[in-house]
Amino acid sequence: MTDATPTREHPDPPRRWRRWRREFAALPRAFRATAWVALTLVLCLVAGLVVGTVVVRRSFPQTTGTLVVPGLAGPVEVRRDASGVPRLEADSADDLFLAQGFVAAQDRFFEMDVRRHVASGRLAELVGEQALAGDLVARTLGWRRVAAAELPLLDPATRDALESYAAGVNAYLADRGPSELALEYTALGLGGLDYTPEPWTPIDSLAWLKAFGWELSGNLEQEVQRVLAQVAVGPTRAGELFPPTTAPGTVPIVRTGAVVDGVFEADATAAGTRNPVRPAPFARTGASTGAPASPARRVAPLMNDLAGHLARVPALAGRGDGVGSNAWAVSGDHTDTGAPLLAADPHLTASLPGIWWQVGLRCRTVSSDCPYDVAGAAFAGVPGVVTGHNADLGWAFASLGADVTDLYVEQVRGSRWRRGTAWEPLRTRRETIAVQGADDVVVTVRATAHGPLLSDVDDLLATVAETAPEGRRGSATVPREVEYVLAVAWAGADPAPTADALLALNRAADPGDVRAATADLALPALSVVYADRAGHIGYQAAGRLPIRRSGHDGTVPVAGWRPENDWTGDVVPAAALPQVTDPADGFVVAANQRAAGEDYPYLITQDWDRGYRAQRARESLERAVEADEAITAADLEALQRDTRHPIAADLVPALLAVPLPDGYASSGRDLLRSWDFTQSADSAAAAYFNAVWSRLLADTFHDELPAAAWPDGGQRWFGVVPRLLAEPDSAWWDDVRTPEREDRDAILARALTEARDDLTRLLDVDPARWRWGRLHTLELRSPGLRGHGSAWLRRLVDRTGPEVGGGVGALDATAWDARAGFAVTTAPAMRMVVDLDDLDRSRWIVPAGVSGHAFHPHATDQLADWAAGRTRGWPFGRDAVAAATRDTLRLTPPDPG
């Protein structure tokens, strides 16, 4: 019998079909109809899945084979490892950066496009009217205008890098439609968006750096909250909410040294004071202005509005108390290898894709013409690596926390503003904002010599201030038609060559190179921690820090009509910024704490981080050094994962001492009796303690403070509440909404009881089944679409991540906002440990993945390891990269024929 001969067991297809048709016809009619409907639905589902898969995968990048890329002079190899991280190798710097732009666009063009729209005040072009408020702020601050002015200031090599990078991005865009670039463009197109991305330009890269610098620009939120608190409860009680910003026992980053003749010398013991600071009289009382009413009270409505305006700008880097970083370096004298170790984990917004794009850049022959051999975390949209290491040196950033913004209360009459006894013309410009699905919006941006009027963004230049009463201020009478408005002075408004500094760090080989590179770094102001293969470790503060006149300290808004409140126009000399090389204690810890001692002559900020993370890290390293224990890379990784709560040891005894009924009411609190104060994801005690903390803040402060000044639960409040525990009859404990007068124990008991009810509702009636991670989830949101775009689009691209541990002020800094719930707001956006003995033993991880494409295998493939505290290998040398390679793409120039 041949294979073609039908058998009884395997009838030929025509016979099978005829038999099935007869059997189907014999079925009841109702059943047949149902079967046809089911079959149709199945076919539609299969077709939908096929079409959906094609649409989703259409934008995925090619990672193998060969692609012709216009603009290249020679071939570039792009090797990707198992995590999809690209390592690029080229013969020239121009080709290297052109290829970086091309590959960045492959992985993340939609993210790049959204970020440039946000930075340019053009997000409403993509997502409609809901983004208009944020665009108004961006246009008012003028990020893109400043970026355009910075381009001519840059070193020619930096401009060449920016141009080459842009050419690479545009080469990728050239023959691809929007749907081939990102799934989000397809989704926005279904919503009515008719859009083709514009070519990338160097100004797009610089504008993103300006927006990033603004988000890390100091204490604007604290200025607003100080005024709102003063208006609500008076200056004395408001002062209790802003305790000294350095916790007792906290050690500054640089422990020795002084400024001598304009230069910070690490071994100096004394220096003169160049910038004496005295209290700001305008904001604390109304007496110095001659006004019959407190200026702080008069501008409080503006402050309330301003807090809302600033919140409407998409948080590209992060916002709130959780934004910061850990960075430390350990000398080889104290490591297991005899070479330095460098560790860092910047704490930024939890987003998808994450802010950091991992990449390696190598010249085939490293020379003065092509000096790059570097790997690390980059910004998609900016050439080079932002933090990482080259063949000689590793570097990491932490926010310096410098106060480079000030709010000025201005008196405006018509088109003029008051300066001393004169009335000067306002500077104005018109801005046109295109809005998807609506008419263009034309606004006039007004500015004084201090800066643009941020209060003008409310309701498109509606009147935002009360009419001032009659009164005399100095020798000038202020008419009734004068309005009070808010201007913002920002050091970033002055063009500066920050991009030069970033690329110079990519080439740095020793501490002298670091100091030279960071001298050009303007904003954001940063703490730079570094280590090199020659055995040096060190720290350098960097940034353009304004020098104020002696009239104010930057903590509160000041009267713009008083010339003594102006900035001097000078900045702290780069050579005078705190720095140290090879400190005597053998390590450097920078975690946003005070950079230098209180006798440092220049004002950096009055709103330092209180230093809990810094002190926890320092104490751990000190113990190892004093015990002569060799510190390993694994030790530093474990330190990054430390979840101990900063003030639980202070607060728990007070909570345990409060009388509560037995049984249900106290069963949650019983968890605290054996708690070790760590906040792992599976900790029931951590869940209860944080729920109590949230309720305690609300019960203590919400009754007297306006919503814009409610506690977020951050590290400032770690200084406020323990001080109040020692004052059981403080007025803060009394709830003014009730007829009774509550004391400390009454509020503590209320918070304990309410937290028990909260967790019963949110988690389980049985405290043993509570877990901190069930409350404290990582929600990864598109940075540009957060709060914007259609809900179904956000559901398409956003992800709810795993349960995580940690919390505010812990070294594992997964912050949350007590005003909004327990979800993670900012988190370690990357963890890295650089081993200067063998760079191929270095480790890193990001909380999502290298790809910005929804549903791509490398979009979230690092998330599980990140949440579990694991890291991944970071191959660097040629042999290690070759061994780790999974895909290779060859980029070639066009055939000259």
CB atoms within 10 A of CB 543: 30
DSSP string, 753-804: HHHHHHHHHHT-SSGGG--HHHHSEEEEB-TTTTT-S-HHHHHHH-EEEEE-
Cα separation, 416 vs 766, in Å, equals 65
Of 460-474, 813-827, 835-849, the range with the lowest mean pLDDT is 460-474
Which pLDDT value is given to residue 297? 55
pLDDT confidence of 201, banded at 50, 70, 90?
very high
* Strand duo 579-581 + 537-542: pairing: antiparallel
Tokens of 410: 């201005």
DSSP string, 638-652: HHHT----SSHHHHH
Identity of residue 501: A
Query: Mean pLDDT, the chain, as a whole number?
Result: 87
Q: Which residue do the tokens 């201090």 mark?
A: 450
pLDDT confidence of 557, banded at 50, 70, 90?
confident
Tokens of 476: 């000038």
Entry field: residues in the chain: 897
Identify the helix (H) or strand (E) that includes residue 173.
helix 156-173
Cα separation, 281 vs 166, in Å, equals 49
User: pTM for the whole thing?
Assistant: 0.88
Of 24-33, 61-70, 450-459, the range with the lowest mean pLDDT is 24-33
Is 607 a domain residue? no
Which pLDDT value is given to residue 11? 46
Average pLDDT estimate for 699-723:
95
Question: 672-706 burial, b if ≥16 CB within 10 A, otherwise e?
Answer: beebebbbbbebbbbbbbbbbbbbbbbbbbbebbb
Distances 24 to 18, 21, 109, 472, 731 between C-alpha atoms, Å = 10, 5, 53, 97, 83
238-244's contacts with Cβ under 8 Å and 24+ in sequence apart are: 240/720, 240/723, 240/724, 240/732, 241/701, 241/716, 241/720, 242/555, 242/716, 243/716, 243/719, 243/720, 243/723, 244/719
Tokens of 285: 């009382």
Is 144 a domain residue? no
Rg (CA), the chain: 30
For residue 8, pLDDT beyond 50? no
Residue where a domain terminates, one of 720, 754, 770: 770
Which pLDDT value is given to residue 471? 32
Tokens of 451: 């800066």
Tokens of 786: 């957060």
Residue 23 is part of which domain span?
A: 13-57
Identify the helix (H) or strand (E) that includes residue 891.
strand 887-892
Which pLDDT value is given to residue 481? 79
Average pLDDT estimate for 188-198:
88
What CATH number does residue 750 fall under?
A: 1.10.1400
839, 344 Cβ separation under 8 angstroms: no
Cα separation, 728 vs 746, in Å, equals 10
Residue where a domain terminates, one of 747, 770, 793: 770
For residue 276, pLDDT beyond 50? no
Q: 201 versus 54: which is more confidently predicted?
A: 201
Is 756 a domain residue? yes
Q: Degrees (nearest 5) of the Cα angle 860, 866, 871?
A: 115
pLDDT confidence of 204, banded at 50, 70, 90?
very high
Which pLDDT value is given to residue 193? 84
Query: Tell me: the pLDDT tens digits for 752-778?
Result: 999 999 999 999 999 999 999 999 999
Half-sphere exposure of 845 (CA within 13 A, CB side): 20
pLDDT confidence of 199, banded at 50, 70, 90?
very high
For residue 692, which of 756, 643, 745 has the smallest C-alpha distance?
Answer: 756
Is 810 a domain residue? no
Is 736 a domain residue? yes
pLDDT confidence of 782, banded at 50, 70, 90?
confident
Tokens of 56: 């989703």
Q: 835 versus 289: which is more confidently predicted?
A: 835
Which pLDDT value is given to residue 796? 73
Say what the alpha-carbon torsion angle 719, 725, 731, 737 is, to the nearest 10 degrees.
90
297, 318 Cβ separation under 8 angstroms: no
Average pLDDT estimate for 71-86:
98
pLDDT confidence of 273, banded at 50, 70, 90?
very low
For residue 642, pLDDT beyond 80? yes
Q: Give the list of residues 6+ apart from residue 703 with CB closer than 8 angstroms, or none.
A: 735, 736, 737
Cα separation, 684 vs 664, in Å, equals 16
Which pLDDT value is given to residue 465? 30
Q: Which residue do the tokens 């004395």 mark?
A: 236
Is 547 a domain residue? no
For residue 525, pLDDT beyond 60? yes
395, 389 Cβ separation under 8 angstroms: yes
For residue 461, pLDDT beyond 70? no
Domains held by the chain: number? 2
Tokens of 789: 């775009």
For residue 283, pLDDT beyond 80? no
Which pLDDT value is given to residue 830? 97
Is 220 a domain residue? no
Is 30 a domain residue? yes
Question: Coil, helix or strand for 103?
Answer: helix
Which pLDDT value is given to residue 755? 98
